[in-house]
Structure 1
Amino acid sequence: MTANKSPSYRHQVFELPEPKLDITEYQLFHGRCKQCNTVSKGALPEEAPDGQMGPRLLSYVAVLSGLYHLSVRKIQRLLQDQYGTHFSIGLISEAQGRVSSMLTPTHQALHQHIKKASLVHVDET
């Protein structure tokens, strides 16, 4: 008996990956010089994001609120259920504001471009 060169049947199973947060902890130290009594403090690396949420989590919160219209409390609950981590209402609200501020220049540029366009809302009909 000879085996076929291509499969006669395919069975695909789709599964979501295990949700987990990647947490990066930055530890900063400080010390005092015994000679001159000057305090030196460590600094975060330049690539460290401001705040507790990294860019992907910020984007996820923005999509949940902007595209899926979830309230701050529902976003809080979803993040708790998915990742087992509690984020405060204030932090989620702050994340929405940060993303909104980041998108404002793009939104304004698009608005100006559309205002100057000779044709607006044109389709094939």
Structure 2
Amino acid sequence: MPGACCSDCGGEVTANKSPSYRHQVFELPEPKLDITEYQLFHGRCQQCNTVSKGTLPKDTSDGQMGPRLLSYVAVLSGLYHLSVRKIQRLLQDQYGTHFSTGLISEAQGRVSSMLTRYSKW
């Protein structure tokens, strides 16, 4: 506010040291998916003719959905009672990507299985 002028007389305004008013605006972040692609190669040993294949890193999800997306699908179905088709549509609308109803259903089953396994402890 340095150099501000009084709206009534045009005189110089000296601002207070702390704000007298705060205005906060809340906004959702732009939704986006983080997609990681792993490219595995294979080759044949020139000496013994054995085929060697690349492997995924140990912490890689074994399906198309990572743990956060699996959790999101579980919350949408379990807590919000959305059908598989509604979850499919929401993911399409929100992230611009298409997951089959089979994959979404499989994700629900995987989370259910994990919860059952860990709830026995």
Report the TM-score range of the alignment, normalised by the length of the smaller protein.
0.7 to 0.9
Identity among equivalent positions (%) equals: 88
Secondary structure of 1:74 counterpart? helix
1:31-50 C-alpha deviation (Å, 9 max, x unpaired): 11233221000000101111
For residue 9 of structure 1, what is the amino acid of its counterpart? Y
Matched, 1:27 2:39: yes
TM-score, normalised by the number of residues in structure 2: 0.85
Corresponding residue pairs, total: 109
Whole-angstrom distance in 2 between the partners of 1:60 and 1:80: 14
Which among 13, 21, 36 is matched to residue 9 of structure 1?
A: 21
Q: Offset of 1:108 from its aligned partner? A: 3.9
Whole-angstrom distance in 2 between the partners of 1:107 and 1:36: 49
Which among 61, 68, 71 is matched to residue 56 of structure 1?
A: 68
What's the RMSD between the two structures over aligned residues? 1.2
Whole-angstrom distance in 2 between the partners of 1:107 and 1:68: 21
Whole-angstrom distance in 1 between the partners of 2:52 and 2:66: 27
More helix by share: 1
Q: Rg: which structure is higher? A: 2
Please list every run of 5 or more consecutive structure 1 residues that lacks an aligned counterpart in the other structure: 110-125
1:46-98 C-alpha deviation (Å, 9 max, x unpaired): 01111000000000000000000000000000000000000000100010001
Q: Offset of 1:4 from its aligned partner? A: 1.6
Residue of structure 2 equivalent to 1:105: 117
TM-score, normalised by the number of residues in structure 1: 0.82
Whole-angstrom distance in 2 between the partners of 1:87 and 1:101: 20
